[in-house]
Amino acid sequence: MSSEELLQPKGIRLLKIHMAIQFSRLPRMDGFADGFLLSLTPADLERICSIATPFMPCQKVYDLIQSDKGFRHYFRSFWLPIATFDLSERIPEEMTWSLLDVEDATRWSNLLCSDAPFIFLQPESLLSFSGSFVFPLSGSRLLVSKPRSNSSSSYDPSLSVRLSILLYLQASRFVAAVNRSYIEKVIELSHHYVGTDGTQRLEAEVLGFLN
């Protein structure tokens, strides 16, 4: 689909649901999800429990979240996506979404597929889709959220290279690419961004294209 077709209200909602489910199940977000769930009070859970079918008593849910790691994982995977994300059919007024496609996807497809596909700075901003983020939709297409003040419609090819390095560095276990030599080069270049400081510096460089 073209940007015009996909970024219609129903398409926006489907993309949000897809990203919310992915985000909630990423191993990378284990610490954030546990901290978020453990901070919820019975009053916070009341709205979430009210939409459950069958009905879930919020006090019982609270007790299980506090005591049962397996229940927290279930609740995080199935309930957090639909209960805590902004799943409306609109993009926040201060942001704009766009699709970035390579010029010829049959000849050039170098975005990595990884088990940690999101690029963002603050998890909280993704719950409301109110901040900049990058989400690969395929090996040759990116979904990009950026402030409306940024009018860029295309980006330097170094963005995709930096993005691939970052996807490689933040992956938990799995990375794949359609071109072996490309992924070998990405691994070689990743040595320039070793450690947490290097990864954060690379995140800032990638999101700096957008902000």
Contact between residue 165 and residue 175 where contact means Cβ atoms under 8 Å apart: no
Using only C-alpha atoms, what is the Rg of the chain?
19
Cα–Cα distance list, 61 to 39, 66, 102, 127 (Å) = 13, 9, 46, 21
Please give the single-letter amino acid code of residue 149.
Answer: S
Mean pLDDT, 10 residues at a time, the chain of 211 residues? 85 94 88 92 87 80 94 90 91 90 62 84 88 85 86 72 89 85 90 88 84 73
- Strand order across the 133-136 sheet: 95-101, 141-147, 133-136
Cα–Cα distance list, 39 to 45, 49, 74, 77, 85 (Å) = 10, 16, 17, 17, 17
Dist CA 147 CA 121 (whole Å)? 14
**So what's the pLDDT on residue 107?**
59
**So what's the pLDDT on residue 137?**
85
